[in-house]
Structure 1
Amino acid sequence: MFKSKDNFTVLLAGMQWLFFIFTNTVMVPLSIGHALGLAPEDIAASMQRSFILTGVLCIVQAVWGHRYALMDGPAGVWWGLVLSICASAPAMGLDIGTVAASLSSGFMISSTVVILLALCGFLNVLKRIFTPMVMGVFLLLLTFQLANTFFKGMIGYDQGGKWDLQLAALSLFIIVVVALIHLKGKGKWGQFSLLGGIIVGWVAYALLFGSESRMAASGGGGHGIWHFLPWGTPGFEPGIIMVGLLAGLVNMTNTLTSLTAAGRLFKREATDKQFVRSVMFTNSFSILAGCFGLIPFGTFASSIGFLENTKVLRRAALIAGSAMFIIVGIFPALGGWLAKLPLSVGNAVLFVAYLQMFGTAIRTFQGTTFNAKTIYRVALPVLTGISIMNIPVSAFAEFPPLLTPILSNGLIIGVILVILLEIFVRWDRFETTTKAPEPGSKTGPYRQPYSHNEIRG
């Protein structure tokens, strides 16, 4: 069937991408559908649309857009925003139908504005704002956010605050399996540690707990899934539109961070045209998402952790996995089978994958000298962001409802803080220069701290 061993390697890597894309996508339409009170068949149809459009967008980006092996899918910024707005609807005096209609408008208006900004050169402004320090803080907070989410999922942490000890033990076993394959795998086999962890973990889960899926509405009928404006005629609630515009800008910065980090990993920096093409394709598909009852798309910075772990940087692997994902979306039976993947298994594997992102974030700070004063440029935004992440959303109930999605998001607040610190504080004034040691002294080697301009460069 395969012409060469290379084709088989691409197929295996594609399957690894398939599970990665699926695990990062499947819960979005499910949770959004339940938040909006959609019928099970409507949720199933939205899942199929989400799978197909996500797969197509990944291929389009890999071939014509940013041309990196990076996943594009339902944006986490938008996902959290939509869930938060739905939860705050009663406080805003809005019914869920009005919220859904205004969200559709927000998706389309925000995406259109972002496209226009990209064409007008706004990305160059963002590049000046998003220094290595800002991107490092962004990646650190993203790592903490994802690791926290997947850790809770792999230990079976429930709303009552209890662990599932059996799931936790199985997850620990899966992590060991992934680590052993990654570290001890000979030749190219070490690149498929995540796929090996999924297969071994899925089999072990089936033996221990049975093969029943914990997901609902895994697939709908094979026809009638393309409902135009399923959330109703677009509405124009001003507050929701304004928050949507802010989310679009935040999502734009995510693209900038993802492509910059990818440029270092692939050892070829993205050009201005690649940045613009990436933003245009992502937001064009986001407009389609608004038309078909899906949340906007974004480039996943978390793909960097996946790539760091697997070392498979070929676009062909992503294209193969995306094509498989499209097929899963077209045929509900395949979606139903894939939905049987236990979430705890997927979470355990992704937890390991995202550990690599921590290293990527730390490397972003290389060349920066920290002392007792300059450490605040990282410590304040990172620790503030982490602290907010660990506060329940309910604690923000007294805040204005439309500000809650922003103020309760530790990632956004942390990034805003580091940007303000980088703009308004002259950190070079706090960098100290130590005197060179006298010959024969026991003092360590002299090191001149990098200047502020060198750090920014």
Structure 2
Amino acid sequence: MNRQQEHFITKYMSQTSSLVLAGIQWFFFLFTNTVVVPLSIGHNFQMSPDAIAASMQHAFLLTGAVCILQAVFGHRYAVMDGPSGLWWGLTLSLTVSASSAGMSLERIGGGLAAGFLLAGLTMAVLGRLGAAHLLQKLFTPMVKSAMLFLMTIQLTMNFFKGMIGYTEFGTFNLPVAALSVAIAILVALIQLKGRGKLGNYAILIGIVTGWIAYSFVFPGQHAGLSGNSGGSLFTLFPWGVPTWEPGIIVTAFFVGLVNMTNSITTLSTVEKIYETQTTDQQYKRSYVLTGLFSMLSACVGVLPFGLFASSIGFLESTRILRRAAFIIGAAMLCILGLTPSVTAFFAQIPPSVGSAVLFVAYLQMFGTALRTIEGTAFNSKTIYRVALPVLTGVAVMNIPAEAFQALPIYLIPIISNGLVIGVLVSLILEKSVNWSKMENASTTSKTVTSP
């Protein structure tokens, strides 16, 4: 073997090893953004550990598959497509508010399954027809910021209750709360003080160390799975058979439209990192894939899909732009989803640990909401543009669910959902009020009264 061949082999091995390491980093990113979703949803639906493990299998398998297809045939970027945070917030909210108002969990699950199927079909059809950009005009940056503020508040409220072991009887578990606070502080310190790539693994480190600490502090409190751990990959509609629940279906359809605009925002930002231009065909293929996988996810108890804006932060911090590395990470996630025993093991993560980690992780969404309206000046009149929808939504979130029992059952999922109400108020304000006129009037007034 001559020197040229040796040099080629050495260079090839070096490139291959770096590619594999980059793929492993992507795997950890995909895993940590997926693993806690089926856990929190499963506990809200009071599913058995085996059913949660099966849902987790489906989530890993579908997320890995759609990421590979997106990278090869869809938008063709290294961007995660997985169970959407928008759908997560909606589902957590509905399982709490609607069930407290008298709807059974099976009825809620059936309504959500029908709504998810409709939303996925709508995304695939409208995306293919190129109608997504029309929605972008409707959901302005101000509407998106209100939605992000409310999503952050809604999710962190749920995670905080999970952290402290809050029960339906209005009590909390002090030892569990103390451990959860310690875990949250650890994750925050890693994110704030972590050097190099350590901060990228804050969620993973928090889950592992928190799980170990929980096992030592509360031995035997978290039951293991039964002999058939991991469930069946062919379990259909574990939340409930699709049923016609107008309030839930309309709400899910509305959130589906909002989710479509999030894809445009994410891809338009990612293309700057890649220094390229996303074509209409890339958008169309991306929407079709996300829509089809959202419909498939509705059948197996997984939240509908959407592009993760958090991928932008990962790309910027690691500079791992190669699609090959992303595909390797997604393939590893698929393999994990096809390994029931391993998936069942992860299904035993204590809910308080996952909630503590995500409480810190989702604080970043508040910054995203602020950046959405960055550069906008507010005065005593235009502040209503943000304050009214956000504070109205928060007010609705804090009304006891029992207060909505007098409403018609089909209106409860809409009226009792602070996120939906807040976004609707924002849409109405944006389309009915001339805010630019108020801004100009304020500027003119300052000019006249200035010395």
The alpha-carbon distance between structure 1 residues 244 and 233, as it changes in their structure 2 partners (threshold 3 A), is closer
1:297 counterpart (304, 317, 322)? 304
- Matched with 1:11 is 24
- Matched with 1:26 is 39
1:49 is the counterpart of 2:54: no
2:202 counterpart (175, 180, 193)? 193
Q: How does 1:98-109 map to 2 (within 5 A)?
A: 105-109=114-118
RMSD: 3.8
Q: How far apart are residue 56 of structure 1 and its match?
A: 1.9
What are the Cα deviations for residues 291-336 of structure 1, in whole angstroms up to 9, with x where unaligned? x343551316574697499767656676555434433332221122
The alpha-carbon distance between structure 1 residues 133 and 119, as it changes in their structure 2 partners (threshold 3 A), is same
The 3-state SS of whatever aligns with 2:83 is: strand
TM-score for both structures, normalised by structure 1: 0.78
8 Å CA contact 1:137, 1:378 repeated in 2: yes
2:258 counterpart (253, 256, 279)? 253
The 3-state SS of whatever aligns with 1:187 is: coil
8 Å CA contact 2:127, 2:287 repeated in 1: yes
Q: How far apart are residue 29 of structure 1 and its match?
A: 4.7
The 3-state SS of whatever aligns with 1:299 is: strand
The 3-state SS of whatever aligns with 1:72 is: strand
1:143 is the counterpart of 2:152: yes
- Matched with 2:395 is 387
- Partner Cα distance (1:141, 1:132) in 2: 14
Q: How far apart are residue 127 of structure 1 and its match?
A: 0.8
- Matched with 1:413 is 421
8 Å CA contact 1:255, 1:298 repeated in 2: no
8 Å CA contact 1:18, 1:321 repeated in 2: no
Q: How does 1:208-247 map to 2 (within 5 A)?
A: 208-210=217-219, 213=222, 220=229, 225-227=233-235, 237=244, 240=245, 243-247=248-252
- Partner Cα distance (2:222, 2:331) in 1: 24
Structure 1: segments with no counterpart, 5+ residues: 442-457
The alpha-carbon distance between structure 1 residues 162 and 355, as it changes in their structure 2 partners (threshold 3 A), is same
The alpha-carbon distance between structure 1 residues 192 and 146, as it changes in their structure 2 partners (threshold 3 A), is same
The 3-state SS of whatever aligns with 2:169 is: coil
Code of the aligned partner of 1:72: G
What are the Cα deviations for residues 56-113 of structure 1, in whole angstroms up to 9, with x where unaligned? 223333443343523411632663587479849977xxx9888877765554344323
What are the Cα deviations for residues 395-421 of structure 1, in whole angstroms up to 9, with x where unaligned? 211111111111111111111111110
- Matched with 1:435 is 447
1:76 is the counterpart of 2:84: no
- Partner Cα distance (1:171, 1:218) in 2: 30
Count of aligned residue pairs for this structure pair: 427
- Partner Cα distance (2:227, 2:182) in 1: 27
- Partner Cα distance (2:101, 2:367) in 1: 39
- Partner Cα distance (2:147, 2:338) in 1: 35
Q: How does 1:57-68 map to 2 (within 5 A)?
A: 57-66=66-75, 67-68=77-78
Q: How far apart are residue 186 of structure 1 and its match?
A: 2.8
Q: How far apart are residue 133 of structure 1 and its match?
A: 0.9
The alpha-carbon distance between structure 1 residues 323 and 267, as it changes in their structure 2 partners (threshold 3 A), is same
Code of the aligned partner of 1:209: F
- Partner Cα distance (2:156, 2:312) in 1: 11
Q: How does 1:122-161 map to 2 (within 5 A)?
A: 122-161=131-170
Q: How far apart are residue 229 of structure 1 and its match?
A: 6.8
The alpha-carbon distance between structure 1 residues 117 and 70, as it changes in their structure 2 partners (threshold 3 A), is same
Code of the aligned partner of 1:27: S
- Matched with 1:445 is none
Identity across the alignment (%):
38
Q: How far apart are residue 275 of structure 1 and its match?
A: 3.6
Structure with the bigger RCO (C-alpha within 8 Å, sep 6+) is 2
The 3-state SS of whatever aligns with 1:26 is: helix
- Partner Cα distance (1:370, 1:63) in 2: 44
- Matched with 2:353 is 345
Q: How does 1:252-331 map to 2 (within 5 A)?
A: 252-261=257-266, 263-264=268-269, 267=272, 271-290=279-298, 292-294=299-301, 297-299=304-306, 303=310, 307=314, 314=321, 319-331=327-339
The alpha-carbon distance between structure 1 residues 157 and 106, as it changes in their structure 2 partners (threshold 3 A), is closer
1:332 counterpart (312, 332, 340)? 340
- Partner Cα distance (1:97, 1:436) in 2: 63
- Partner Cα distance (2:234, 2:396) in 1: 39
The alpha-carbon distance between structure 1 residues 349 and 218, as it changes in their structure 2 partners (threshold 3 A), is farther
Code of the aligned partner of 1:28: I
Q: How far apart are residue 166 of structure 1 and its match?
A: 2.0
Code of the aligned partner of 2:128: L
8 Å CA contact 1:157, 1:163 repeated in 2: yes
Q: How far apart are residue 338 of structure 1 and its match?
A: 0.8
Q: How far apart are residue 22 of structure 1 and its match?
A: 0.7
8 Å CA contact 1:202, 1:341 repeated in 2: yes
- Matched with 2:9 is none
- Partner Cα distance (1:141, 1:5) in 2: 40
Q: How far apart are residue 352 of structure 1 and its match?
A: 1.5
Code of the aligned partner of 2:379: N
8 Å CA contact 2:150, 2:422 repeated in 1: yes
- Partner Cα distance (1:167, 1:217) in 2: 25
8 Å CA contact 2:230, 2:341 repeated in 1: no
8 Å CA contact 1:11, 1:320 repeated in 2: yes
The 3-state SS of whatever aligns with 2:150 is: helix
